[in-house]
A = this chain, B = another copy of it.
Amino acid sequence: MSTDIIFKAIGVVHSPFTDAVGMPIQPAAADGVEGSVEVFAEYAEGLRDLDGFSHVILLYHFHRAGDVRLVVTPFLDTEPRGVFATRAPSRPNAIGLSVVRLLGVEGNVLCVQGVDVLDGTPLLDVKPYVPEFDRETKVRIGWLQGRAKGARERKSDDRFE
């Protein structure tokens, strides 16, 4: 029904998390965790002016995600939920999204904080985080109501590998 859309990694995420089990499940839980985002040299010119931003949106490939599952039981719940109502990796297109703090840019490397990403994860894109575009108020969060804050303590297990 639809044709392939082909992307390439533009870099790689380096983090202390070498095992998908026991990881923070969201940036909020990786608050003090520093990591780096290496952008391959051929794309480094695109990082110009990024150092003015305090936060960036990382898009990356959940390269260790297992089979696609349309209904999953998320880390923060005991009920099965539609995968598009979760942030689980086992989505039809395994794209991950994290908003992280940008501590600095050194050449082709971003020093970041709050990185809830597995070491070695292929990077797809970096975007500046802009409250006028990305920040919403008066938000309802469905099944995550009363559970989202639990992400600070909750660690991953192997259910999505």
List residues of chain A with CB under 8 Å of any chain B CB: 1-10, 26-28, 39-40, 42-43, 45-57, 59, 61, 70-71, 81-87, 91-93, 95, 97, 99, 101, 122, 124-136, 138-145, 148-149, 151
Contacts and interface: CB of A to CB of B under 8 A. Distances in A.
A141 B1 contact: no
A23 to B, nearest CB: 14
Interface SS of chain A: mixed
Given A2-B10, A47-B84, A97-B97, 18 more contacts: A1-B40, A6-B6, A8-B93, A10-B92, A45-B71, A49-B85, A50-B84, A51-B142, A54-B136, A54-B138, A59-B93, A87-B128, A87-B133, A95-B95, A129-B141, A130-B144, A133-B151, A135-B135
